[in-house]
Amino acid sequence: MSNPQVIGGGRMSRMERGGDGRKGGGPKVSRVKTMRRLWRYMGVYRGLLVLSLILAVAGNALGLVGPKLSGTAIDAIGIGAGEADFPVIIRMAILMALAYLGSAVIGYILSRVMLRLRRKVVTQMRRDVFNRMVSLPVGFFDRHQTGDLISVITYDIDTVNESLSSDVIQLLRSLVTVVVSLVMMLTIAPQLVLVFLVTVPASALYTRWATGRARPMFRARSAKLGALNGMMEQMMDGQRTTKAYAREEEVISRFGEANDDAVAAYSKAEYAGTLVFSSVNLINNISLALVSVFGGLLYLAGGVGLGDISAFVQYSRKFSGPINETASIVGELQSAFAAAERVFRLLDTAPEPADAKDAMELKDVRGDVRLENVTFSYLPQVPVIKNLSLTARPGDVVAIVGPTGAGKTTIINLLMRFYDIDSGCITVDGKDIYTLTRDSLRGAFTMVLQDNWLFYGTVYENIAYGRPGASLKEVEEAAKAAMIHNFIMRLPQGYDTMIGDSGHAISKGQAQLLTIARAMLGDARMLILDEATSNVDTRTEQRIQKAMLELMRGRTSFVIAHRLSTIRNADHILVVKDGSVIEQGSHENLMKNQGFYARLYQAQFETA
């Protein structure tokens, strides 16, 4: 049967996958594109965004009235004239109090609005990232550390949205402050504004140079923190192994190195950001000193009044302040952009290709599975499976055995389309699996894997995971068949007991039996057992053999097992070595042939 090279959007070539089941191996995200996409997230909530902009402008406008009122009050004191206009002074004081109070109230309302906007943006962004992670191919997770991915969905998204919620609005407020302050200074003493023709360009040029230098440091900071999280997650998972081999000192040393690298990267980035802030602050202070000196000379020459000088100095501080703040904000934005690039790089990772437009649903499954000359490699030019052919008729129990690394589990991954083959053909009931929808293909299988997985939930929910809506009686029958019912009844709340992370602790063997019960509850016509009894003792394994045989009755079953005693009754045994089937047949025939299988079997029982 011919192998279709491309079926709609169904199959990716090795070049498209980038070697791990995804396109390009991690697309780059440009700075302009990053800004546009960040703005798009905020633009969804236009009402809150417009309201926050109005509040920001109104609050700053009220705050900028103060210096002018203050200058009027100083002139009303009548220094040098011996008399003061107290009604004007009182009126100006009241207006200043109202202006600053109004600015404070608006600022409080603005913070509440921005908090709500940030919450909505964080929720949407985190939802998008998680949805993309769920849609990614298995190969992506085989090649990326879990801790690093968790860092993206937690730390990086929080970093991005802290900047979105405060820095963007702060930039707008700074812009309003700078423009209004400049206009007011021009109306008071345009001669003094000439000072800023030197200091402002100096600040702008320095800021641009310094932020360009700091940008790689913030990227390195995000990467090092992600690597640290990955190491911590790995060490937590391997804690028992670490203690068993007394390698605590080595683990501490490795963590110390990773921690030092992360702290060093963090410190470099923060130092670069702080240096920008301090340097711009120095330039602004120089400008204020020059304003004070030339303002004093202008006052002595009779060019301006004392109240105008006071107002001009206050406006000059408000004019310089936002420029100084902008330098600090730019440093924070560098961190936000570095985090956003990691977020969008994950969002841009190609998901599993969509099913072809003419893909069919796999219905009325009989379980006739055939592999013809299948070749597959995880890495280019390094085949794991080579010209593999096998046939499983409806109801057959096909055992796959062989040494570690022979490609046994890879065969299962190809059957389920977790990975796409390089060449050859795989059919189910005569239909090429690349002409079928993934959901219907995977729904035709039920699986019990060596790495059992239980989520935080009740025992009932975990067993019924593959068959939502199953009755309690059906769940109990499956648990009894898996020899786990009595244990469940001894739990504090029976089938309502919470298990999984942060739930009631159970052993690995008990968790394995729960996953077997989950498979027994399913009604799929094909079954995959990948070392399904690896975590139970020999006596328990013998007890559930009959239940396993009942589970496999009438189903096409693929059984991977290292304990060869568990597959003696298989209809067909495939012996896989170096990605190829070197022997096949029944247990009795393979033992008579005295080949590789017979040597494996005898090696397991030679002690006995």
Above 60 in pLDDT, residue 29? no
- pLDDT for residue 495: 92
What are the DSSP calls for 267-281, one per residue?
A: HHHHHHHHHHHHHHH
- What is the band of 22 on the pLDDT scale with cuts at 50, 70, 90? very low
Q: Which long-range contacts (CB under 8 A, 24 or more apart) does 485-488 make?
A: 487/513, 488/459
Contact present, 189 and 308 (Cβ < 8 Å): yes
Torsion over CA of 161, 163, 165 and 171, rounded to 10 degrees? -150
**Mean pLDDT for the chain overall:** 78
Lowest mean pLDDT among 23-27, 157-161, 431-435: 23-27
Lowest mean pLDDT among 76-90, 110-124, 325-339: 76-90
- pLDDT for residue 432: 92
pTM for this prediction: 0.65
Residue 46's contacts (CB-CB under 8 Å, 6 or more residues apart) are none
Above 80 in pLDDT, residue 24? no
Tell me which of 540 and 443 has the higher pLDDT: 443
Above 90 in pLDDT, residue 216? no
- pLDDT for residue 13: 38
- pLDDT for residue 25: 41
- What is the band of 331 on the pLDDT scale with cuts at 50, 70, 90? low
Contact present, 511 and 448 (Cβ < 8 Å): no
Reported as type and span, the H/E element at residue 333 is helix 306-347
Above 90 in pLDDT, residue 425? yes
Interval 493-521 mean pLDDT:
81
Q: At which residue do the structure tokens 């030197």 appear?
A: 198
- Percent of the chain scored above 90 by pLDDT? 6
Tell me which of 282 and 3 has the higher pLDDT: 282
Count CB-CB contacts under 10 A for residue 455: 11
Above 60 in pLDDT, residue 146? yes
Strand order in the sheet with 445-448: 445-448, 526-530, 556-560, 397-401, 572-577, 580-585
- The whole-angstrom separation of Cα 138 and Cα 249 is 34
- The whole-angstrom separation of Cα 168 and Cα 340 is 15
Tell me which of 481 and 501 has the higher pLDDT: 481
- The whole-angstrom separation of Cα 470 and Cα 468 is 6
Highest mean pLDDT among 72-81, 161-170, 457-466, 517-526: 457-466
- pLDDT for residue 21: 37
For residue 206, give Cα distances in angstroms to 54, 163, 177: 31, 22, 21
Above 60 in pLDDT, residue 422? yes
- pLDDT for residue 426: 93
Lowest mean pLDDT among 5-9, 141-145, 531-535: 5-9
Above 60 in pLDDT, residue 17? no
- pLDDT for residue 30: 62
Domain boundaries, the chain: 27-347, 369-605
- pLDDT for residue 18: 37
- pLDDT for residue 165: 65
Above 80 in pLDDT, residue 342? yes
Q: Hey, do 27-347 and 369-605 end up sharing a CATH topology, with the first three levels equal?
A: no
Could you tell me the two tokens for 91? 């009126």
- What is the band of 276 on the pLDDT scale with cuts at 50, 70, 90? confident
Count CB-CB contacts under 10 A for residue 534: 18
Interval 65-89 mean pLDDT:
71
- The whole-angstrom separation of Cα 367 and Cα 200 is 76
Give, as one character, the DSSP assignment of residue 352: S
- The whole-angstrom separation of Cα 130 and Cα 340 is 15
| 436: three-class secondary structure by DSSP | strand
Lowest mean pLDDT among 3-7, 104-108, 409-413: 3-7
Phi, psi angle pair for 418, to nearest 5°: -70, -30
Q: At which residue do the structure tokens 């019990």 appear?
A: 448
Q: At which residue do the structure tokens 């100006």 appear?
A: 92
- pLDDT for residue 565: 67
Contact present, 559 and 397 (Cβ < 8 Å): yes
- pLDDT for residue 6: 32
Angle at 566 between CA 561 and CA 569, to 5 degrees: 115
- The whole-angstrom separation of Cα 565 and Cα 401 is 11
- The whole-angstrom separation of Cα 38 and Cα 160 is 9
- pLDDT for residue 245: 59
- pLDDT for residue 31: 66
- Domain 369-605 in CATH 3.30.428.10? The answer is no
Tell me which of 24 and 367 has the higher pLDDT: 367
Q: Which long-range contacts (CB under 8 A, 24 or more apart) does 323-326 make?
A: 323/174, 323/178, 323/200, 323/203, 323/280, 323/284, 324/277, 324/280, 324/281, 324/284, 325/170, 325/174, 326/171, 326/174, 326/207, 326/280
- pLDDT for residue 239: 67
Phi, psi angle pair for 577, to nearest 5°: -145, 130
Residue 30's contacts (CB-CB under 8 Å, 6 or more residues apart) are none
Contact present, 331 and 274 (Cβ < 8 Å): yes
- pLDDT for residue 103: 86
Phi, psi angle pair for 384, to nearest 5°: -100, -40
- Residue ranges in 383-458 assigned as alpha helix (H): 408-415, 438-443
445-448 vs 397-401, strand pairing mode: unpaired
| 382: three-class secondary structure by DSSP | strand
- The whole-angstrom separation of Cα 231 and Cα 245 is 18
Paired with 510 in beta bridges are none
CATH superfamily of 27-347: ABC transporter type 1, transmembrane domain (1.20.1560.10)
Highest mean pLDDT among 93-97, 317-321, 322-326: 93-97
For residue 448, give Cα distances in angstroms to 366, 465, 469, 607: 20, 13, 20, 30
For residue 524, give Cα distances in angstroms to 137, 355, 387, 607: 23, 21, 28, 39
- What is the band of 428 on the pLDDT scale with cuts at 50, 70, 90? very high
Phi, psi angle pair for 75, to nearest 5°: -65, -30
Give, as one character, the DSSP assignment of residue 360: B
Tell me which of 323 and 185 has the higher pLDDT: 185
- Summarize pLDDT for 523-580 with one digit per residue, the tens: 788 988 887 666 666 676 666 666 677 677 788 888 887 777 678 778 888 888 877 7
- pLDDT for residue 237: 66
- The whole-angstrom separation of Cα 299 and Cα 514 is 88
Q: How much is the CA Rg of the chain, to the nearest whole Å?
A: 35
- The whole-angstrom separation of Cα 30 and Cα 38 is 12
Contact present, 597 and 590 (Cβ < 8 Å): yes
Residue 122's contacts (CB-CB under 8 Å, 6 or more residues apart) are 157, 158, 161
